[in-house]
Amino acid sequence: MKIVILQPLAIDKSQLDVFIKTLSDKGHELTSFDTLPKDKKEAIERAKNAEILMLVNYPFDKESIKSCPNIKMISVAFTGFDHVDTEECKKRNIVVCNAAGYATNSVAELTFGLIISLLRNIPKCNEVIRVGGTRQGLIGNDLYGKTLGIVGTGTIGLRVAEIGKAFGCKLLGYSHSERKEATQLGLKYTDLKTLLSGSDIITVHSPLNSETKDLISWDEFKLVKSTVFVIQTSRGGTINKEAFTDALNTKKIAGGGIDVFVQEPPVSLDNQLLKTTNSVMSPHVAFATKEALVRRAEIAFNNVSGWINGKVQNKVC
């Protein structure tokens, strides 16, 4: 089969060659690109003859799919898949699989990096010590004993709960379904309003879909404590950008830790979130560790092999 890897997988070439060999040795024709498409037109040109397409987070919309009539399967080397038009894929019987679970630990670890950075003023401390300053005005807060509200207790949310318990946090959860593993950790499931009003730290780990878009918006920010920290490492659209910006600027919340944005970085410099002073941000790096990227590629290639062999795994559409 003709397999096209649309964009770089961000792993060493030697490692990529090993993965490619697992399929080429079985007679499949693979084409891989080591640069991002410069635009949609180039992406379509790369993918137009593919029967199987592998991509990371490059947008592949209805027009792109319609322009590639031979595609039968898309392997998304990413957890989120909202950048692929799954409705169009359903119409065309195209199977879409994602790389679920590859970055569970990576995202959970960065979540706590952002939490601790905010609680202990680490970015400001770094600035101050370099210019001869002291801890004056930089007294922080413990994580121990805080109530950690976890919105979305899937694989990543559950891992966040496990780490939160190790730090001595009280755990609240809101999710479309309750998990026994979470309650065994001592997590108490509540409705969203109760979680928002009762948490010292709120961290969002929900996928982005029609039900979770703007899950936390203007009305929800009215419910939270003024001392709360809000962490966003899931998908940018689950928290309303304008409401989040307002909550930070007007001190409705104490601070925010933000790794994901509605617009994939580079984020427009007009984005008002970038101008908030009580936030710590990173350019969507929560998933980006060397170990996680290798796991991601391995899952993506295994998804392709599974589909070819009639054993579909990680199917999302």
Catalytically active residues, by annotation? 235, 264, 284
Helix or strand or coil: residue 217? coil
Continuous H helices in the chain? 13-24, 40-47, 62-66, 86-91, 104-119, 122-129, 155-166, 180-184, 192-198, 218-221, 241-249, 290-308
Q: Cβ distance 200 to 227 under 8 Å?
A: yes
Long-range contacts of 209-215 (CB under 8 A, 24+ apart): 209/82, 211/176, 212/152, 212/237, 212/238, 213/237, 213/238, 214/238, 214/239, 214/240, 214/243, 215/151, 215/239
Burial status of residue 269 (CB atoms within 10 A of its CB: 0-12, 13-18, 19 or more): exposed
Q: How far is CA 190 from CA 98, 245, 305, in A?
A: 29, 26, 41
Q: Cβ distance 238 to 213 under 8 Å?
A: yes
